Amino acid sequence: MPPTHPGARRAFAALALCLALAACSSIHVERTTKTSGSFRSRAWAFTLLSWDMPQTALGRARENAADTRLVNMHVDMVRVTPDWGWWNWLFDIVSVRVATIEGTWGFTGEEGASASASPGSTTGSSSSHAASR
């Protein structure tokens, strides 16, 4: 039951709005070839007395990217804002944080060139046999 005092109503409405916004996340996936592309995952979290609602912004952004089930994902950039370094403990009192994760996914065809066998090795050699176990 919501409070009846006008100031308490506003505080309750503000808290409800913050909780609703805290559940926001998005992902953008762009294909550059048939089997590869880039992605950007973004999530918000509301923090009150070191309790992140519904969870940390970075954790939510990572889960959002993982839920796409894209193969061979490589994270190139992770950013959590606001970020004041040592002073981030201030944001643990009350804040809204936004986490962004950007990277690539898939296979461009250049991966095989870097993983070619070394000279003198054969398919049945012990190094390739051990790697296949």
Q: What is the pLDDT along the chain (133 residues), one digit of tens a residue?
A: 555 677 777 777 777 666 666 567 788 889 888 888 999 999 988 888 877 777 888 888 998 888 888 888 889 999 988 878 888 788 778 888 888 999 999 887 776 655 555 555 455 444 444 444 4
**pTM for the full predicted model:** 0.62
Q: Is residue 60 part of a domain?
A: yes
How many structural domains are present in the chain? 1
Domain presence at residue 85: yes
> Is residue 73 one of the residues assigned to a domain?
yes
Q: How far apart are CA 24 and CA 54, in angstroms?
A: 10
Asked whether residue 5 is assigned to any structural domain, the reply reads: no
Question: What residues contact 85, with CB distance under 8 A and at least 6 apart?
Answer: none
Cβ atoms within 10 Å of 94's Cβ, excluding its own? 11
Rounded Cα distance between 14 and 9, Å, is 9
Does residue 87 belong to any structural domain of this protein? yes
71 found inside a domain: yes
Q: Count other Cβ atoms within 10 Å, centred on residue 98.
A: 17
Q: Is residue 64 part of a domain?
A: yes
Q: Which domain holds residue 33?
A: 18-107
Asked if residue 13 is part of any domain, the answer here is: no
